[in-house]
């Protein structure tokens, strides 16, 4: 089997679950040798995707569901974060830095996801929902300090 571990989470679209999701995914990912800074980046990417599902996908309706699937290979985390919300009409436009359909937002969530993860993809169908698929490799950062070198 390609995966050494897998998990699924399903939770309500309430703001308190942004922190729940990011901490849970980081705890799962920490089974690999991600650096602390890698784990912080994973947390930001998860927060941005879950926040988008709550705010944009479900327009802050608190009784909808968000699903996360995470899997580990020997050296990477694969993540799928999904809602059944209103979807994105123009994905290309939504991915542009500083584009937001909400004038009070910065339009940087997708930029963070793209810069902090090694692969990133959005699938969305208006009226049906949005799926963000991302992955990050472990062990690609600075090598740990070795006093014998």
Q: Is residue 135 within the footprint of ligand ATP (CB under 6 A)?
A: no
Q: Is residue 43 within the footprint of ligand ATP (CB under 6 A)?
A: no
Nearer to ligand ATP, 102 or 148 (CB): 102
Please indicate whether residue 78 is annotated as part of the active site: no
102 binds, among ligand ATP, Mg ion, none (CB under 5 to 8 A by kind): ligand ATP
**Which residues contact Mg ion (rule: CB under 5 A)?**
52, 109
Please indicate whether residue 96 is annotated as part of the active site: no
Minimal distance, residue 14 CB to ligand ATP, in Å:
15
- Alpha-carbon distance of 145 to 149, in angstroms, equals 9
Name the helix (H) or strand (E) containing 5: strand 5-12
- Give whole-number Cα distances, 71 to 20, 28, 76, 141, in Å: 18, 9, 8, 20
Which one is catalytic: 52, 64, 80, 82? 52
Please indicate whether residue 86 is annotated as part of the active site: no
51 three-class SS: helix
78 by Cβ neighbours in 10 Å (0-12 / 13-18 / 19+) ranks as middle
- Contacts with 96 (C-beta within 8 Å, 6 or more apart), sequence order: 107
Q: Is residue 107 within the footprint of ligand ATP (CB under 6 A)?
A: yes
67 binds, among Mg ion, ligand ATP, none (CB under 5 to 8 A by kind): none
Minimal distance, residue 61 CB to ligand ATP, in Å:
12
- Alpha-carbon distance of 29 to 27, in angstroms, equals 6
Contacts with ligand ATP, residue ranges (CB under 6 A): 48, 52-53, 56-57, 83, 85-88, 94, 99-102, 105-110, 130
| Residues known to be catalytic | 48, 52, 105
């Amino acid at each position: 089997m390609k995966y050494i571990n897998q998990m699924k989470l399903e939770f309500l679209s309430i703001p308190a679950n942004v922190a729940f999701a990011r901490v849970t995914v980081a705890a799962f990912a920490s089974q690999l040798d991600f650096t602390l800074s890698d784990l912080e980046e994973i947390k930001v990417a998860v927060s941005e995707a879950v926040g988008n599902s709550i705010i944009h996908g479900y327009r802050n309706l608190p009784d909808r569901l968000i699903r996360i699937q995470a899997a580990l290979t020997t050296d990477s985390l694969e993540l799928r974060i999904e809602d059944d919300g209103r979807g994105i009409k123009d994905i290309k436009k939504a991915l542009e830095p500083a584009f937001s359909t909400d004038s009070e937002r910065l339009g940087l969530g997708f930029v963070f996801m793209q810069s902090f993860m090694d692969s990133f993809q959005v699938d969305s169908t208006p009226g049906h929902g949005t799926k963000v698929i991302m992955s990050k490799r472990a062990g690609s950062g600075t090598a740990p300090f070795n006093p014998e070198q």
